[in-house]
Every structure is written in C-alpha cells, then in structure tokens.
Amino acid sequence: MTDLAQKPKTPITLSTLNKYKKTGEKFSCLTCYDASFAHLMDVAEIDTILVGDSLGMVVQGQSSTLPVTVADMVYHTANVARGNGHALIMTDLPFMSYATLADAISSSRAVMQAGANMVKLEGGSELAQIVQTLANNGVPTCVHLGLTPQSVNVFGGYKVQGKTESQTAKLLSDCEILVGAGASMILLECVPSALAKQVTERFDVPVIGIGAGVDTDGQVLVMHDMLGVYTRKPAKFVKDFLSDASNETGDIVGAFKNFHQAVKDKAFPTVAHSF
C-alpha cells in the first residue's frame, strides 16, 4: 500500500512552471473536485490541479458543462484548497460567467478568494480585454483553445479543431493576441499534434495539452477518466492509469504517480492518444 502520510513539499507556482518551460521539464495536471483526492494528488506530487467545470458531467451527472455555476466552482475550489499543499490550483470560470468584463472580475474574485491560484477561460482573441484587466489586477489566466466544451453547441459536438489552414491561422492568431494581453498559460484541447508543437515552441508561456500530442509543456486529464471511471465512451486521448499493468500498487495514488512520471518521461501521451 502507498504511504499516505503528508510530507512537506515546495508549492508549485507559476514561476515554477515557467522554469520548467525554459528547461524542458514536463509537468502534470489532473482535475480534482474535493479535499480527499487533492490530498492523494499531493502525495503523488501532481504539479497542477484543475478544478474543472467538468464536474458538471463527472460529479453532477449533467450532459455537458453548461449548467455549472460560479457557486459550484467556489465550493469545489475551496474543498480542493483544503486538501492541497503542493500543486498550483487552476479553476475554470463556468459558462457565461465572464460574458462581460464586470462578470469576469466578479467570477475571478470569487474563485481566487476560495483558493485558486489561476483562472481558466475558454475562447480566443475576444478575451483580450478580460485577460489584460485580470492580469493588471493580479489574476493569472490560462486561455483554453481548440475544442472548448462550453462552445459545444457552436461546434455541433466534440470535434477536433485546428485541422484546416484557416483554423490553424485563427488559433495561432488568438494565442498571439492573448499572450500579448497577458495570458500566463495556454491549454490546447483536441488539436493536431503538429499544431500543438508549433504553439508550444512559438510562445514563451507554458502550454498544457489534452488530446494535443506529447510536445506540449504539460499534460492534463480528467481524474475520473484516468481512473477508468467512465459514464460514456472514453475519448481517444484517455488512458486508464488505475488498471494499467505498470501500477504495481494497484491503488489510486499509484495511478496518480504513474501518470505524473509518464508525463515527465514523455511516455504519455503516445501517438495512439493523439490526433
């Protein structure tokens, strides 16, 4: 069995992730929604935690992320913060909670005061003013590009983005504008590996991937997915680390540790998990 005793660790900060970017060290990220799993991720030394609006689907049983509220995100962020001592905590701003600058400021204040170290927003260049205002007020932002689940009704489903020349040009332009506005991190979801590599090499902020190949600076998975807890068919980029043969302890902490090490070693994702 894995030793679950809490050991003092140096907190991961944005400066840490920027250092990893410069030295080429990969970093791990998992979604988390409560104190107990946050503690287990602490033991496994997961680098970053995303309190994702994915909780709408994996915790609340919703059909999408759209019903999630700011109050939900505040509640779960506070829970995670109580169990965390190591990882940088990033929290999603949910659907329509940053439609205006005033909304974005209010929502960001709420989740940051609950324990987040950074907020994540879905969208492109239209977020530039929001990103700049938040940065000027001490709120780091991660911009989520590619497949953005809050826009599932616009996309007509969960589809790979950035496959055409125009989509590629738009994504690169969005990154340029948002990084210029002060975005601290980029998350790419379901984009071709070659495009994710291009973004990672072109911009000096850390880039996290999910379904975006092995070349991004960090990798994120939904915790339930990587533990094999599926309520629907898993996406191509998912790997079950709990039942994987390399998990010698056969427990959840072992799965977290194996994910973390596989990311560090560039052993995950493989071509089979990429587009």
Active-site choice (45, 189, 201, 248): 189
Tell me: the pLDDT tens digits for 214-237?
999 999 999 999 999 987 777 888
Tell me, what's the pLDDT at 161?
67
| Inter-axis angle of helices 35-44 and 252-264, nearest 10 | 50
Tell me, what's the pLDDT at 274?
83
Tell me, what's the pLDDT at 158?
47
Distance of CA 62 to the CA centre of its chain: 20
**Residue ranges of the chain with per-residue pLDDT less than 50:** 155, 158
Find out whether 15 and 35 touch, Cβ atoms under 8 Å.
no
- Please confirm, yes or no, whether 165 is among the known catalytic residues: no
Find out whether 233 and 60 touch, Cβ atoms under 8 Å.
no
Tell me, what's the pLDDT at 40?
97
Q: Rg of the chain's alpha carbons, rounded to an integer?
A: 17
- Domains of the chain in start order, with CATH, are 14-273 (3.20.20.60)
Find out whether 256 and 46 touch, Cβ atoms under 8 Å.
yes
**Phi/psi-derived region of residue 61, left when phi > 0, alpha when psi is between -120 and 50, beta in every other case:** left
Distance of CA 202 to the CA centre of its chain: 20
Tell me, what's the pLDDT at 155?
45
DSSP assigned state of 233: P
HSE at residue 199, side-chain half, CA atoms within 13 A, is 39
Q: Which residues contact 261 (CB under 8 A, 6 or more apart)?
A: 267
